[in-house]
Structure 1
Amino acid sequence: MPVDQRALVPLANARNGVAHAGIHHIAEVQTVFTTCLRLVDPLLTELKIDQKQYWGGYEQLHDRLIEKRVQCARIELEAKLAKARADFEQRYGHLDEASRQTVLATITRYEPMRYMEHDEEQECPACASRAWLMGETYIDDDKNTVVFSPFMLMCSACDLHLTAEDLPLIGNLANEIDLEERPENFYFSAEQVGTIVAQDWEPGT
């Protein structure tokens, strides 16, 4: 499970929660801790520091913690999918096919309330209805095109909500998508193109 900006979301939330509100959810401690471990490894490689020597007697613990977190993430994902499928069947299982399609077309017609920069339609992995990948975009300088980086998936039909940690565990949901749009066409104005940079985790900066 590679570390990128999406994988750092729990770490950023933990940092901001503690720094600005003095709170942090105890259930997220393991995720945050193993993310930190995974973050250190590529830094060691970049700095040409031997990982065995760095971790020393903690190497096996390091490996086990990461392995355990991956296993837990898969179990949590399966639980989410199972619940979403059960909820979907409970809500729409009594409807005939034509009625079900009409209801679902209405429920999934609109994207969920957006609190991320961009979204793309995606078939829900639980109920096969229209769902939405939500995330952020950036400019690929080599291709001069806009690329979408998904952070989560939401389905209004079965209420499935997948996080950045879940997406890599299901097919290609975590894959970035080339929107095949030139930046000056995609963003509101050409003046904004030069100001699109990675977001700072610190609010108000």
Structure 2
Amino acid sequence: MTVESWGTTYWGGPGATGGTWWPVGKHVVEHGRLKQVLALSARHHARQAIELFATDDQDGLTQAAVSAGCAVELLAKAFLASVEPGLLAEKGDRDTILILSGNANLASARIAEMKTVGALEALKIAKHLHPSLSFNLQSDQVVLRVRNSAAHMGMVLPDELRAAVAVMCRLVEGLLAALLLERDKYWGDHAIGVVDEILDVAKSEVRRIVAAKIAVAERRFAGLVSGLDAAGRAVVLSALSRRDPYTTADHNEPYQCPACKQQGWLVCHVDEGQPEIGYDDDGTQYSFAPRTAYPFFFECPVCELELEEEELAELDYPMEIELDPNSDPYSNYEPDEDWVRGR
């Protein structure tokens, strides 16, 4: 699938009336093609960032920095729009919701005055909807920081820009998969080879970081048990391995540490599916909701090894873990107050 396959017809504007029509230069497209408008702009910026990030020209570097951040934000928003355009509204803004729901004729604000979520929030929502998206809240914000520095102050640090472009490539790749778009057609013939090289270098760097972290943890573990007899070693390791992880999360899955071979923890976000109906052998009906855990961090309470999400893939950790279903999916349901008062 390509971005163009989402629609190729353009209407003359601003003559189109009723509902929501998205302006694209001198023309407009219908409400349902918002994801296309966003993805096309994201594609332009992604290609421009690849073309310019290695230049020696200051203006080119500044544009590459701006484009790297815009490419990520716009494609994340294209994904949100593909799920539900209303997800783009900031803090439930009334006019924005009306416009995004296809009712711009009922809004008092113009389309250009919409209040939408920022880049970081869009990425957080995209990660929630598509948990396999490799987005690290701490380290990946470099792509937005570089964009903001260039856009607001005209400043670019080449090393940070290169890191930002690598993050852009990884996030764009994940969002393309979520949108079922062909990566070769999206990047284009001139950029795809560069993107592949950037991703390979980034993977090699992650591999080196993981190896270094494990080596440090192994030395730390050797020092911890040095001089202990078998009984003392067993007592120390048993006490340490029972500690809970420091990181707060929905679920902690026990998993062997690659450095010290003791029990560590996969720290996970849990996604609960829609409630379903099942039946016991005797025909009794019950409700349940499937649950899936998505690891984003690893902690070992013994050797203190810590691995972030993109580093877990280097060690073949599971990216999805099926959990026992929620047997009472309606326990937190609260009826609408207006509905209750109206009874």
> Could you tell me the TM-score, scaled by structure 2's length?
0.46
Cα distance change on mapping 1:127 and 1:31 into 2, 3 Å: farther
- Name the residue aligned to 1:7: 134
Letter aligned with residue 180 of structure 2: E
TM-superposed CA distance for 1:181, in Å, is: 3.1
TM-superposed CA distance for 1:90, in Å, is: 1.3
Cα distance change on mapping 1:89 and 1:53 into 2, 3 Å: closer
CA distance in structure 2 between the partners assigned to 1:16 and 1:116 by the alignment: 25
- Name the residue aligned to 1:34: 169
Cα deviations across residues 134-193 of structure 1 (Å, max 9, x unaligned)?
Answer: 01111244783222111111012111001100111113x2331112232527xxx71259
CA distance in structure 2 between the partners assigned to 1:121 and 1:13 by the alignment: 27
CA distance in structure 1 between the partners assigned to 2:328 and 2:265 by the alignment: 24
Of all paired residues, the percent bearing the same amino acid is 20
Q: Does 1:105 align with 2:238?
A: yes
TM-superposed CA distance for 1:127, in Å, is: 0.4
CA distance in structure 1 between the partners assigned to 2:193 and 2:327 by the alignment: 46
Cα deviations across residues 88-144 of structure 1 (Å, max 9, x unaligned)?
Answer: 101212212221110111122121224222212111111011211101111244783
Q: Does 1:190 align with 2:331?
A: yes
Q: Which runs of 5+ in 1 are unaligned?
A: 194-205
Q: Which runs of 5+ in 2 are unaligned?
A: 1-129, 150-158, 277-287, 335-343
Cα deviations across residues 65-99 of structure 1 (Å, max 9, x unaligned)?
Answer: 01111111111111111111111101212212221
Moved more, 138-147 or 118-127: 138-147
- Name the residue aligned to 2:200: 67
CA distance in structure 2 between the partners assigned to 1:164 and 1:78 by the alignment: 15
CA distance in structure 2 between the partners assigned to 1:54 and 1:146 by the alignment: 35
After superposition, residues 90-169 of structure 1 pair within 5 angstroms as 90-141=223-274, 144-169=289-314
Structure with the larger helix share? 2
Letter aligned with residue 46 of structure 1: L
Cα distance change on mapping 1:6 and 1:153 into 2, 3 Å: farther
Alignment: residue pair count: 183
- Name the residue aligned to 1:46: 180
- Which structure has the larger Rg? 2
Higher relative contact order (CA 8 A, sep 6+): 1
CA distance in structure 2 between the partners assigned to 1:12 and 1:78 by the alignment: 19
Letter aligned with residue 90 of structure 1: G
1:175 to 310, 319, 336: 319
SS of 2:253's equivalent?
A: strand
SS of 2:325's equivalent?
A: coil
Letter aligned with residue 166 of structure 1: E
TM-superposed CA distance for 1:58, in Å, is: 2.0
Moved more, 151-160 or 135-144: 135-144
Cα distance change on mapping 1:71 and 1:114 into 2, 3 Å: closer
SS of 1:157's equivalent?
A: coil
CA contact under 8 A between 1:144 and 1:183: conserved in structure 2? Answer: yes
- Name the residue aligned to 2:217: 84
CA contact under 8 A between 1:152 and 1:161: conserved in structure 2? Answer: yes
CA distance in structure 2 between the partners assigned to 1:192 and 1:164 by the alignment: 32
Cα distance change on mapping 1:76 and 1:119 into 2, 3 Å: same
Cα distance change on mapping 1:31 and 1:59 into 2, 3 Å: closer
CA contact under 8 A between 2:140 and 2:167: conserved in structure 1? Answer: no
CA distance in structure 2 between the partners assigned to 1:80 and 1:138 by the alignment: 29
Letter aligned with residue 191 of structure 1: N
SS of 1:112's equivalent?
A: coil
- Name the residue aligned to 1:200: none
